[in-house]
């Protein structure tokens, strides 16, 4: 079954639901169709691709779950700002290098420019005598989802 994207009343992306669930939301008047999908109408409703909640919902569940780490999301967390020199960062630096068991995780990665990343190489910041301008941290959903 096709998944339908649910937006909060403020147009933030929330999650996906089944088409059946989306239709139920429309029938209970808790959501409206924001974008129409191809295909025939379902009862009085156009087939939705995206629905938007009528009332703003604070999604508490988001604070329980940690956003998944990804290279793209991590660079976004750090504002594409190099953790070592403050320049424009396009690469991921593993604080404890991957070759030495460092994980692809929020608290082991920082954004870095190619130059600093190359200079640090296979060392920890301490070994390379490079100071982190900020400590890696787990971001909030809000940071990751906001555009």
- Residue ranges binding Zn ion (CB under 5 A): 82, 84-85, 87, 113, 116
With H, G, I as helix, E, B as strand and everything else as coil, classify residue 39: coil
CB of 32 to Zn ion, least distance (A): 46
Residue closer to Zn ion, measured from CB, 53 or 112: 112
Residue closer to Zn ion, measured from CB, 75 or 82: 82
Residues 6+ apart with CB under 8 A from 22: 4, 6, 31, 48, 51
CB of 127 to Zn ion, least distance (A): 17
Residue closer to Zn ion, measured from CB, 49 or 112: 112
CB of 132 to Zn ion, least distance (A): 11
Which residue in the block uniquely carries the two structure tokens 């191809």?
A: 38
> Which secondary structure element, helix H or strand E, spans residue 3, and what is its range?
strand 3-7
One-character DSSP codes across 50-87: EEEESS----THHHHSPPPP-HHHHHHHTTTB-TTT-S
With H, G, I as helix, E, B as strand and everything else as coil, classify residue 117: helix
CB of 83 to Zn ion, least distance (A): 8
Secondary structure letter of residue 10 according to DSSP: T
Q: d(Cα 135, Cα 108) in Å, to the nearest integer? A: 9
CB of 106 to Zn ion, least distance (A): 20
């Amino acid at each position: 079954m096709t998944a339908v994207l649910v937006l909060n009343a403020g147009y933030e992306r929330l999650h996906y639901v089944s088409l059946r669930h989306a239709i139920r939301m429309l029938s209970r008047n808790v959501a409206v169709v924001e974008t129409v999908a191809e295909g025939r109408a379902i009862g009085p409703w156009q087939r939705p691709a995206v629905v938007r909640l009528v009332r703003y919902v604070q999604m508490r569940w988001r604070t329980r779950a940690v956003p998944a780490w990804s290279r793209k999301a991590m660079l976004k967390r750090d504002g594409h700002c190099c953790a070592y020199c403050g320049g424009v960062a396009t690469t991921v630096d593993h604080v404890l290098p991957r070759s030495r068991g460092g994980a692809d995780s929020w608290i082991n990665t920082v954004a870095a420019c190619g130059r600093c990343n190359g200079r640090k190489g296979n060392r920890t910041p301490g070994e390379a005598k490079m100071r982190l301008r900020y400590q890696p941290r787990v971001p909030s959903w809000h940071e990751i989802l906001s555009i």
